[in-house]
């Protein structure tokens, strides 16, 4: 293993790519700690220490920004606008035929979709930065009352100061997109995925440290042991796939023979990735947001439905919250897999090039068979996603961890997925140069 790592740094091209990637990561993390203009940074840090963070959708955004959101830094929005824009673009393929046409046009169409995603990212960044500045100005960013520091997060709240803050945060999102594209072109791995990986990994020390301080060294070791087991299980499931054999008939084109090969269609157990967890978290935040905007005036009685939402949908340790969260993840998993994998298109492409599944007729029977297999494979995959997503909530109720418990939810899925893909890319480049890769 150590000899393989040494070969990485003895290869000039690979060493340069890894060095460039690490340099971009350092700049990204540096920007996460540079405060936006007119932000009272000492008050923000004091309020962050006293309140312990936030819950709901903001906790997810704060996780993907590496803690930059609650510090109101220039990279406060992190990669969340880009993630949201990418998901919206994928969903629009089902609604807008032009997007589906662009997707099937190859490299030219993909470039056009990427351009649309960039424009949508900037628009979402404008919207989210406006919301964030408004919430910070009102003193409700951390969702607590009675702390003077949390009510004075800005040093100047005139309109031009707020406009400058919005422009700065939006420009920060654009700079993050540029960083990600530079890493993809000149570095190792997918740039945006690596920046998300970096943001989540940056929260691990503080999350583990809070468990150590709150529950002691014994519980800390137990959490580490559970984390190792969870990582091993996630790696096993993420690498698991059903391989459907496909044969291609021989055909003559001129004097050459094409086809006659055997291959397979890999259907992963978890084809949806982390998207269903993001969908479910965002949807569950809506009731709490509605209740927050229907708070009674001082002296008035809290409406019954508002009290019920505050009791069961603002606390992650509520069994109703966990059950609804679990069911939403299962539903969104089936929904997202149905959008991203179309059995009819796969069957038509196979028929066009003379491919068939042994024992299954080409055309409609092939599409029905693929749909049958996909439905059965998605069932354990959706349950797996739901259980992994519930781990932070269970940790919140048992060991007193916060919502950003590192070994569960979206964080562990992204850490493992990006780590595996990056190692595979390094391994492939080593095999091109040394005939022996990083993995054996």
Q: Which of 145-149, 156-160, 228-232, 275-279 has the lowest mean pLDDT?
A: 145-149
Give yes or no for a contact between 5 and 174, defined as CB atoms under 8 angstroms apart.
Answer: no
Locate 191 and state its tokens: 């740039």
Burial 392-404 (b: 16+ CB within 10 A, else e): bbbbbeebebbbb
The backbone torsions φ and ψ at residue 253, rounded to the nearest 5 degrees and listed phi first, read -125, 100
Give yes or no for a contact between 171 and 77, defined as CB atoms under 8 angstroms apart.
Answer: no
pLDDT above 90 covers a percentage of the chain that reads: 12
**E strand segments, 313-409:** 355-356
Q: How many CB atoms lie within 10 A of CB 430?
A: 19
Between 151 and 110, residue with greater pLDDT = 110
Predicted confidence at residue 378, as pLDDT, reads 92
Average pLDDT, the chain: 80
- Fold observed for domain 203-407: Preprotein translocase SecY subunit (1.10.3370)
Between 202 and 402, residue with greater pLDDT = 202
Give yes or no for a contact between 412 and 406, defined as CB atoms under 8 angstroms apart.
Answer: yes
pLDDT at 417 over 90: no
Confidence of residue 212 (pLDDT cuts 50, 70, 90): confident
| Distance in angstroms (rounded) separating the CA atoms of residues 38 and 32 | 16
Predicted TM-score (pTM) of the model is 0.79
Q: Is 145 left (phi over 0), alpha (psi -120 to 50) or beta?
A: beta
Predicted confidence at residue 222, as pLDDT, reads 83
CATH architecture of the domain with range 1-201: Orthogonal Bundle (1.10)
Two domains, one topology: 1-201 and 203-407 = yes
Predicted confidence at residue 149, as pLDDT, reads 63
Between 82 and 251, residue with greater pLDDT = 82
| Distance in angstroms (rounded) separating the CA atoms of residues 224 and 222 | 5
Domains in the chain: boundaries: 1-201, 203-407
* C-alpha gyration radius of the chain: 24
Locate 220 and state its tokens: 């800390």
* Strand, coil or helix: 403: coil
Predicted confidence at residue 397, as pLDDT, reads 64
* Strand, coil or helix: 182: helix
């Amino acid at each position: 293993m150590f000899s393989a790592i040494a070969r990485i740094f003895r290869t000039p091209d690979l060493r340069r790519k890894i060095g460039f990637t690490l340099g971009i990561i350092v700049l990204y993390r540096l920007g996460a700690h540079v405060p936006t203009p007119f932000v009272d940074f000492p008050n923000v840090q004091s309020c962050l220490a006293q309140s312990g963070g936030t819950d709901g959708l903001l906790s997810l955004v704060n996780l993907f920004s590496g803690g930059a959101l609650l510090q109101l830094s220039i990279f406060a929005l992190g990669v969340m606008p880009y993630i949201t824009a990418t998901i919206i673009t994928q969903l629009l393929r089902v609604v807008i035929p032009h997007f589906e046409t662009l997707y099937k046009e190859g490299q030219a169409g993909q470039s056009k979709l990427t351009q649309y995603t960039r424009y949508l990212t900037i628009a979402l960044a404008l919207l989210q930065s406006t919301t964030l500045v408004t919430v910070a100005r009102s003193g409700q960013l951390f969702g607590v009352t009675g702390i003077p520091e949390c009510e004075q997060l800005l040093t100047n709240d005139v309109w031009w100061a707020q406009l400058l803050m919005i422009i700065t945060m939006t420009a920060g999102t654009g700079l993050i997109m540029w960083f990600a594209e530079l890493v993809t072109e000149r570095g190792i791995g997918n740039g945006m995925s690596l920046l998300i990986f970096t943001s989540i990994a940056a929260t691990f020390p503080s999350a583990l440290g809070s468990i150590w301080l709150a529950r002691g060294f014994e519980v800390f070791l137990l959490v580490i042991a559970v984390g190792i087991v969870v990582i091993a299980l996630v790696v096993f499931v993420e690498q698991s796939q059903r391989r459907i054999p496909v044969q291609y008939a021989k055909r003559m084109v001129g004097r050459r023979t094409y086809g006659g090969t055997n291959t397979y269609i890999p259907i992963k157990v978890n084809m949806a990735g982390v998207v269903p967890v993001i969908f479910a978290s965002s949807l569950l935040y809506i009731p709490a947001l509605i209740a927050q905007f229907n708070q009674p005036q001082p002296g008035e009685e809290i409406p019954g439905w508002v009290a019920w939402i505050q009791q069961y949908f603002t606390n992650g340790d509520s069994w109703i919250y966990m059950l609804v969260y679990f069911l939403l993840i299962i539903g969104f998993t089936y929904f997202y897999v149905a959008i991203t994998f179309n059995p009819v298109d796969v069957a038509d492409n196979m028929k066009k090039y003379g491919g068939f599944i042994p024992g299954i007729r080409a055309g409609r029977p092939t599409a029905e068979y693929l749909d049958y297999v996909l439905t059965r494979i998605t069932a354990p995959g959706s349950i797996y996603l739901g259980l992994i997503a519930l781990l932070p909530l269970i940790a919140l109720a048992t060991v007193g961890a916060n919502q950003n418990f590192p070994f569960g939810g979206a964080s562990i899925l992204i850490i493992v997925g990006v780590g595996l893909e990056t190692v595979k890319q390094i391994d492939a480049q080593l095999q091109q140069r040394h005939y022996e890769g990083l993995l054996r």
